[in-house]
A and B are shown apart, each in its own frame.
Chain A
Amino acid sequence: AQSVTQPDIHITVSEGASLELRCNYSYGATPYLFWYVQSPGQGLQLLLKYFSGDTLVQGIKGFEAEFKRSQSSFNLRKPSVHWSDAAEYFCAVGAGYTGGFKTIFGAGTRLFVKA
């Protein structure tokens, strides 16, 4: 069965430091991969997505993610974190199955940014 694991429940980084949020997935074929961000009291906003092609994907707000098939990972990175990046981040995998498709979300990683 498809699944998404975000090993870190929360992460704290200093403003200006680099960031990497981990995501591992389980799926038999090449999945559609997404990172979403959720600010307090808001819905989810798409940061970036990977469907095929270049395994390094650029997104909004200076984020990027790298798809590594051998590791079943899709880690999110940012070279320099800003205080406004404090939020919850969700990794998701979109997968087809007989009769349709589904998007499976990880449990999320909450990012704290300290001054």
Chain B
Amino acid sequence: EADIYQTPRYLVIGTGKKITLECSQTMGHDKMYWYQQDPGMELHLIHYSYGVNSTEKGDLSSESTVSRIRTEHFPLTLESARPSHTSQYLCASSESAVSYEQYFGPGTRLTVT
């Protein structure tokens, strides 16, 4: 069983607020990812990291930012939330590029009012 955690699971917040979505994994994986998922749509990669102090933007443009100061921790921050940010955010990690298999957290469902 994968050990990857996301908090909060659900968040309702007003426009303009700053929020941080937490993601932690205890598997020692170097690679971590953030996906955005809307109902009936494929997962879109918005950020990824290949290790500490390494972060890259994904295929889908996002106003969020990420940091990777510790291997196990990969938080995502929105400086000023907007209704267009309403979505589900999934965090994942993987052991190596060769295996490609990703382990997912339970997700954070964000609603911006």
Contact = CB atoms under 8 A, between A and B. Distances in A.
B contacts with A: majority SS: loop
A108 B107 CA distance: 17
Interface string B87-113: 000101000010011111111000000
A contacts with B: majority SS: strand
A90 B102 CA distance: 13
Interface residues of B, number: 21
Contacts of A108: 40-42
A9, A32, A49, A103: most-surrounded residue (chain B CB, <10 A): A103
B42 A103 contact: no
Interface string B33-45: 0000000111101
Interface string A76-112: 0000000000000010001010001111111110000
A42 B88 CA distance: 11
Interface of A: 4, 9, 32, 34, 36, 41-46, 49, 90, 94, 96, 100-108
Interface of B: 4, 6, 9, 40-43, 45, 50, 59, 90, 92, 97, 100-107
